[in-house]
Structure 1
Amino acid sequence: MPLIACPKCNSEDINGTPQADSRLLIHCEDCGHEWLRGEARRDPSRPAVQTIDSLHAGFPTTLDVRLDVRERVAMLVSEFQTTQHGPVPEVEDYRAKYQELFSREGCRTRTPTTCSSSP
């Protein structure tokens, strides 16, 4: 009985390539199926639990968007503002609700269940 067989075609003609996180990338020579085997080793330089500040620092900024896309968005905003005739009443309620929900304090105190039932 083989130690490892391909889960797709049951072939024993496989090889493994070590990965940086201590797992093996297994490749079936018969059907080409690939899968990872083993447990990933945690990088000790990375904290096990991320804080809200470390997560927030990873959010993309405006500068992460390509210049041509930012210019297109600015043009679309300008077009919208010239064709829109006054504010939409529902927008302010929506903005107030979600601005509080996604604020720094709101993210700290909310859970998935309270988000779905927020005022």
Structure 2
Amino acid sequence: MALSCPSCELSTVEYAETTEDDQTRLRCTSCAHLWLHRPIIVVPAAPPARTARRTRTLTLDEAKAYFPTEDDLTDATRTRVANLKQQFLARQPATDSRVGPYFARYRQIFSADGLPAADPADLKEFANNSIGAHPGNMSVFNRYWNSLGDQAAAQQLRGVIDYLLRGADEAVEDRLETLINPRNPKGMTGFRESLLTRVLCVIHPDRFLPILTYTSAAGGKREVAATVFGLELPAPERTSMTTGRLVFWSNDLLLKLCGPGFVDVAHASEFLWWAKDES
């Protein structure tokens, strides 16, 4: 697929130069816009077993260097988003008085001291309400929970949450990936990306936007970034960047792009959904 200019969206793109850090700078011959092209790293299909070679896994910092940044925004986009933000902030924010106490209660439940004795009813209830962040349809989780029984299901979920929050020897982005992966036995059926991200929203309410999926048909962080900010975040099926890492990096990027002026992270999230519909 031909590259298009992020400013005028025409396919009149030519090579300009290679920077000192080996990135490619492109130029649009129609509007003269210059930008850095960060190619997405795609894992090639494995050759036959007799000639297969082991591919080195990128470190966290190496992979993140290919992820879009604030510098990739066009001037036109910055102006448009600033105008949208001004319109949005002129309104009185709507707040849900239940969220603060609810998140505080579950921070205690998920703590190192509270989790071992967490009531199975509290753990199951967390997956089945939308206070603070809506996790979607939980029928798969509920069927699996009921098939195990309250005690066994609660014990498994305690292990999942403890590993996500306090697992050793791995970055939290990679622990999240482990738990999202349905082939990894550390995870729990039905308690995947949206609910794991909701746990992070509870534990880090000043960092995690209550947008619980990276990408989805209904809209996730990837779709918000594309519609509001004109940024093409990597498609999971086309990149070696793991979903766990993409969840964190997209969250942090969107929060940074929102900038100051919001009451809290939930308010910033409301702006993003509103701006997506307005864009």
TM-score > 0.5 by shorter chain? no
Which has the higher Rg, Structure 1 or Structure 2?
1
Question: Which TM-score band (shorter chain)?
Answer: 0.3 to 0.5
**Structure with the larger helix share:** 2
TM-score (normalizing by structure 1): 0.42
**Structure with the larger strand share:** 1
Structure with more contact order per residue of length (Cα contacts < 8 Å, sep ≥ 6): 2
